[in-house]
Amino acid sequence: MPSPEAVAAIAMFRSQQANPGAADLSYAEQREQGGLMISSMAPMPAEAKTERLTVAGVPALWVEVPDSEPDRAVLYLHGGGYVVGSILSHQELAARIARAAKARVLVLDYRLAPESPYPAAVSDAAGAYQFLLDAGLEPSRLTIAGDSAGGGLTVATLLALRERGLPLPGAAVVLSPWADLTHSGESITTKAVEEPVLTLENLRLWAGLYAGDADPADPMISPVNADLSGLPPLLVQVGTAEVLLSDAERLAEKVRTAGGTVEYQPEDGLFHCYQLFPLYPEAHDAVDRIGEFIRKHTAQ
């Protein structure tokens, strides 16, 4: 059962879902407002150091803490339905992952729809991974990670790297992955009442904006339809009360069936991307497990 702190957060998110004030804002305004809201709830820890830079033609942010090992890095792809989300909204989570994984974390502001639909995000993420290789980092010491749309993008990026014949990272981590933009999973309907964060209306809107003229069932857009063989060890975390539960379940099962290594960690009663907010013990426990997984699979 969720902790009392998580139950309070669920009530807060339900109240926000019932009054979606962002509906009248432009997408640029929604990104800014969302980033400011999350950063106010999850301020950066004092020990975290950041450095802004441009990677593969888009903004990025290095996040590190005193325990970060300079030769271990995580490429982090933020969530937000391929339409919203930013460095600002996810930098605090990156700092917690940096601490838990003893790594530096590169948060990428990949291009978003509707201004830049598929395949812009995949191209940017693959370019950022190439940036890390060009910087001299060993693939075995790298991880690609992401939440929600960033989780689906993580898998799509691995597929793009595999297609290009590039060495894959030592590990991959997906949190509440949006891996089926056709929304064929059972939980899309069975969990709709329980889910306090996502709505099918928003998912359908974002899917259309991201796919553009492409088929949303394309395996590079909906990785649950892809051949998932040959991927690095994968950690999948998801809440059992979220509409994307089926995406996570199917993704983990397909990797396992293809002979890959996968750790599947469902959290009872928790909601979409619960790791993002450090307001309840489940978020901290989940990030601790993320760090343990990354350290295990990117050891020297």
Instruction: Give per-residue pLDDT as tens, 119-161.
Output: 999 999 999 999 999 999 999 999 999 999 999 999 999 999 9
The answer to whether residue 242 is catalytic is: yes
Number of domains within the chain? 1
Q: Give catalytic status of residue 15 as yes or no.
A: no
pLDDT in tens, 47-79: 999 999 999 999 999 999 999 999 999 999 999
SS3 92: helix
Rounded to 5 degrees, φ, ψ at 104 are: -85, 145
Catalytic residue among 78, 90, 272, 297, which?
Answer: 272
Q: Is 113 a domain residue?
A: yes
Residue 242 lies in a domain: yes
Q: For residue 171, tell me if it sits in a domain.
A: yes
64, 92, 195, 242: the active-site residue: 242
Q: 22 lies in a domain?
A: no
Residue 92 scores a pLDDT above 90 = yes
User: Could you give the percent of the chain with pLDDT greater than 70?
Assistant: 98
- Whether the per-residue pLDDT at 23 is higher than 80: the answer is no
Q: For the domain that residue 146 is a member of, what is the CATH number?
A: 3.40.50.1820
Q: Which of 86, 123, 148, 222 is catalytic?
A: 148
- Specify the range with the lowest mean pLDDT, choosing from 1-15, 22-36, 73-87, 254-268: 22-36
What pLDDT sits at residue 86?
A: 96
Asked, for residue 42, whether it belongs to a domain, the answer is yes
Q: Is 267 a catalytic residue?
A: no
Residue 39, domain member (yes or no): yes
Helix, strand, or coil (residue 216): coil
* pLDDT at residue 19 is higher than 90: no
pLDDT value at position 17? 72
- Let me know if residue 21 belongs to a domain: no
In a domain, 258, yes or no: yes
What range defines the domain where residue 256 resides?
A: 4-16+27-297
